[in-house]
Structure 1
Amino acid sequence: MKAAAGQHQRRWRPGLRTRITVTFALLALTLSVLLSCFVWLMVSNYLISQRESTALRQTQVNILALERALQSRPGQTARVLGDLPHNPSTTILLYRFGDWYSSALEASPDRLPTELVDLVLDGTAATQRLIIDGDPYLAVGQPMGGDAYFELFSLAELDGDLRVLSLALPVGAAATTLVGAAAGRIATHRALAPLKSVNQAAAAIAQGDRSARLHANGDPDLTMLADSFNQTAAALERRVEADARFTADVAHELRTPLTTMLNSLELLLRQKRQLPARAHEPLELLETDLRRFERMVKDLLEMSRAEDGTDNVVLEPVTIGELVTRAADRAAGRPVTFVSPGAEELQLTVDKRRLEQVISNLVRNAESHGRGLVRVAVEPATDGVRIFVDDQGPGIEKERRERIFERFARGPGTETEGAGLGLAIVARHLSLHGGTVSVVDRPGGGARFVVDLRAAP
């Protein structure tokens, strides 16, 4: 059983609304991630290329200025280099006539990559990004005659901008995902709103309102669904009405021959002593079957009246304990009723005939299908009365406890016992009183039918 329960749990699937919401969220996440990656590549490449272009232009300007200054002031390379205007975040290094010169005292040619220096000294301009003391720099090298000019540009500001961008894009992706999930939730609420109408219409039909229909409200996408639903509901209504007419016709047709047979039976019973002994047993069997046939015809007539709307309810105040005791003891043929002291004087406004039939049907059901009636108990409830009908049978499986109150529902081993209308009539009569009937396990074994009747407000 535990394994089956585990399999059932593993087969759980989220609802349609949840699945659509998750789909929207995943779609938004996927698009936002792709867009973030695209934006990161485009922006980062653009910023880096712009910084390199700016560095190259500035380097060209500085080289021209340096060459003019060296022509006018030969032999003063270090002073000329120090006087050369440059950004505080940049450092200039000059290799001239075998010596190194720098615009800053802390700058050292050792910080330049050997490959870059060799490439520029060979007459090729080059750039390279590098890390100096943990900070990013862009090194630009330009040949200058037989000399080599190098300038180091700090990329710390650009690196900070890229870090901010790298944080902003995931935050934007997360926000987009949340917005997508919210949009999915709203979209599913609107898209699935028609299902609420379908559910309400189906529930109304299940509760007996066969006139319930589905309206498309001018929505062309729902017209086909509404038409199919309404056609199905109309076909079901016609089928139920036809079944009800058939039931009523059969019941009425059986009344006349049944009355004749019952009158003949009464005549035979009055003359039983005059009949030979071998005819007594067949007569008893005939009486049993005719009484059962009589109850079946009465049940059919009761159900037909319920279907055609002629089952008027006649309410009157009664002492509920006395009514239940009378109906239960008569149906069982022996005293079987216990009335709690708190319910002895309790009065309710009910239809006497219907409530007596409810008790009688439950008692006969316990006697026929529950291996014998144990007792009928009447107890007060918070807003009315509660009636228990206990039997000593094997009980009723949980999956069948709802179906046994349907018409023509019969349990295993009851193929020849009645037409399966007794409990359906019980549920019908109680619903007319605003009451309910249910089945639970009786303490000690067996089934317990529980009838709840509320006092009229």
Structure 2
Amino acid sequence: MATERHHGRWPRLRGLGLRGRITVVFALVALIVSALLALVAWSLVSSYLLAQREQTTLRQAVSGARILQRSLGSTSTSVPELLDSLPASIGAESLLYYGDRWYASSLDADPRTIPAGLRDVVLAGGPARQRVRVGESPVLVVGVPLGAEGAGAYFAVFPLTELDRTYRALSATLGGAAAATTAIGAMAGALVSRRALRPLQGLTAAARSIAAGRLETRLPPHANDPELADLAAAFNETASALQRRVQADARFAGDVSHELRTPLTTMLNAVALLRTRHDVLPPAAQEAVDLLEEEMDRFRQLTTDLLEISRVEGDSSPAREPVRIGELVRRTVPTVAGTDVEVTQGAEQLIVTGDKRRLERVVANLVQNAELHGEGCVAVRVSEGDGSVLIDVDDAGPGVPVEMRERIFERFARVAGDRVAGTGLGLALAQRHVAVHGGAVRVEDRPGGGARFRVELPAVTE
């Protein structure tokens, strides 16, 4: 059962995150330390105040008992008058047991407030004191014998209301100090965790930048912190190795594609020659030529896309020029499909700074993907986002499963059940072109059914 409780508590603390856990730990440490200090302070101060109060009241009671002991039997003054003549203590009441009778300094003084045990001890000849509660008020009862056993006894009842109020004020002060210390500890934890985790924020941003395709991202060196310097150096080495590997792959794909262009051109010319003699060929040969021509067109497109990808990954700095994105989309879409383009009000003035050819290729690839794999492009819409321009390409297909919405932008990725011919590189190219422009492309469900590919690019208003 203890193990179950352990696993039930700590997962909630782990869910706070590292910064939250550091803050909570600082707050708990501050709370524990302040609580211990408050308890120690309370114990010391309350004990001191009570001891001082008891000593004061005992001295006053002994002084009063001596006065009565000297005066009783040696003066004609009555016992009540003797009690009234005693030095007055704030709020104190006097009781005298003398001659088997009780005398009181006021009508409020009641012998029944004196505990029986205390009374017996004092009447037996020994001084005593005891804290009791009379109604809702705490009092201190001090008893002093007037002589030998049976000679009588003097009792003083001192109120402790003022001391009780002091205790409450002290506890409130210590509790407030503990709460303030806990809050200060939490704030200190938040500040320390923010400062300590600041390098991790830079590492996170750099990792996200590399994941977005900006392989030239590096961490600055941390010369003043050996641990962070080692981390930055290891990260930069890993990023450099990854960049070299990607560039090598891109060069390899480009070299292969380039080497294929010559034999590809030869084969295309041969197919074109066969096409000119298509009518004189036997039916079986005509079918073979048709299949060969279709596959050669696909082979040509694949080679072109591979060359394009190798250029994109080899050069992540596109040409920069102002591009009115609404006009670019209107001009590009009809060349791929006969779909109308809607440009919302406000988006007409949006300008993207980037490579016009690459942006045209993004729009063309998305529309072509909708035509080939989405049962036709339904609509293309350009609208204004929060400091960005949005391009939505809607299709009439079955949509893209959630688990495929990231993978579909990888090279040669296909949705299960899609048997339409294609190179499998169109969406990968679009994603890379958008990434080098500082944007993002994603796929989501279209209202009413189908898929919606959304491109978001940083824009400036003219």
Q: Which TM-score band (shorter chain)?
A: 0.7 to 0.9
Larger mean CA deviation between 255-264 and 360-369 belongs to 360-369
1:226 pairs with one of 224, 232, 236 = 232
Structure 2 counterpart of 1:409:
413
The answer to whether the 8 Å contact 1:305/1:311 transfers is no
Q: Write the letter of the residue equivalent to 2:116.
A: T
- The offset of 1:297, in angstroms, is 0.5
Structure 2: distance between partners of 1:92 and 1:314: 101
Q: Which runs of 5+ in 2 are unaligned?
A: 1-11
Q: What does the per-residue CA deviation read over 1:59-78, in whole Å, with 9 as the maximum and x for residues that have no partner?
A: 23333333333475377544
The answer to whether the 8 Å contact 1:376/1:387 transfers is no
Structure 2: distance between partners of 1:119 and 1:325: 109
1:291 correspondence with 2:297: yes
Structure 1: distance between partners of 2:343 and 2:65: 115
**Structural RMSD (CA):** 3.7
Give 1:90-239 correspondences, 5 Å limit: 90-132=92-134, 134-143=136-145, 144-145=147-148, 146-147=150-151, 148-214=153-219, 215-239=221-245
Larger mean CA deviation between 289-298 and 73-82 belongs to 73-82
Give 1:38-49 correspondences, 5 Å limit: 38-49=40-51
The answer to whether the 8 Å contact 1:216/1:222 transfers is yes
- The offset of 1:139, in angstroms, is 0.9
Structure 2: distance between partners of 1:452 and 1:57: 88
Give 1:2-401 correspondences, 5 Å limit: 13-70=15-72, 72-73=74-75, 77-132=79-134, 134-143=136-145, 144-145=147-148, 146-147=150-151, 148-214=153-219, 215-309=221-315, 313=319, 320=328, 323-324=331-332, 326-329=334-337, 336-338=338-340, 354=358, 357-370=361-374, 372-375=375-378, 377=380, 389-401=393-405
- The offset of 1:138, in angstroms, is 0.9
| TM-score with structure 2 setting the length | 0.81
Q: What does the per-residue CA deviation read over 1:83-136, in whole Å, with 9 as the maximum and x for residues that have no partner?
A: 332424323322223233334454343332222222222223221122335432
Change (3 A) 1:68 1:222: same
The answer to whether the 8 Å contact 1:327/1:359 transfers is no
The answer to whether the 8 Å contact 2:329/2:360 transfers is no
Change (3 A) 1:293 1:109: same
Structure 2: distance between partners of 1:37 and 1:114: 34
Q: Secondary structure at the match of 1:85?
A: coil
Change (3 A) 1:200 1:435: closer
- The offset of 1:300, in angstroms, is 0.6
Structure 2: distance between partners of 1:416 and 1:233: 37
Change (3 A) 1:388 1:269: farther
Q: Write the letter of the residue equivalent to 1:292.
A: R
Q: Secondary structure at the match of 1:150?
A: strand
Change (3 A) 1:357 1:278: same
Q: Secondary structure at the match of 1:211?
A: coil
Change (3 A) 1:220 1:46: same
Structure 2 counterpart of 1:6:
none
Q: Which runs of 5+ in 1 are unaligned?
A: 1-9, 330-335
Q: Secondary structure at the match of 2:340?
A: strand
1:441 correspondence with 2:445: yes
Structure 2: distance between partners of 1:11 and 1:152: 55
The answer to whether the 8 Å contact 1:354/1:429 transfers is yes
The answer to whether the 8 Å contact 2:19/2:190 transfers is yes
Larger mean CA deviation between 410-419 and 108-117 belongs to 410-419
Change (3 A) 1:174 1:54: same
- The offset of 1:293, in angstroms, is 0.8
Q: Secondary structure at the match of 1:337?
A: coil
Structure 1: distance between partners of 2:116 and 2:238: 87
- The offset of 1:161, in angstroms, is 0.9
The answer to whether the 8 Å contact 2:362/2:433 transfers is yes
The answer to whether the 8 Å contact 2:318/2:436 transfers is no
The answer to whether the 8 Å contact 2:407/2:413 transfers is yes
Q: Secondary structure at the match of 1:87?
A: coil
- The offset of 1:368, in angstroms, is 3.4
Larger mean CA deviation between 443-452 and 49-58 belongs to 443-452
Change (3 A) 1:250 1:221: same
The answer to whether the 8 Å contact 2:206/2:218 transfers is yes
Structure 2: distance between partners of 1:80 and 1:16: 76
What count of residue pairs does the alignment treat as equivalent?
A: 439
- The offset of 1:260, in angstroms, is 1.7
Structure 2: distance between partners of 1:342 and 1:87: 90
The answer to whether the 8 Å contact 2:312/2:433 transfers is no
Change (3 A) 1:92 1:304: same
Change (3 A) 1:380 1:62: closer
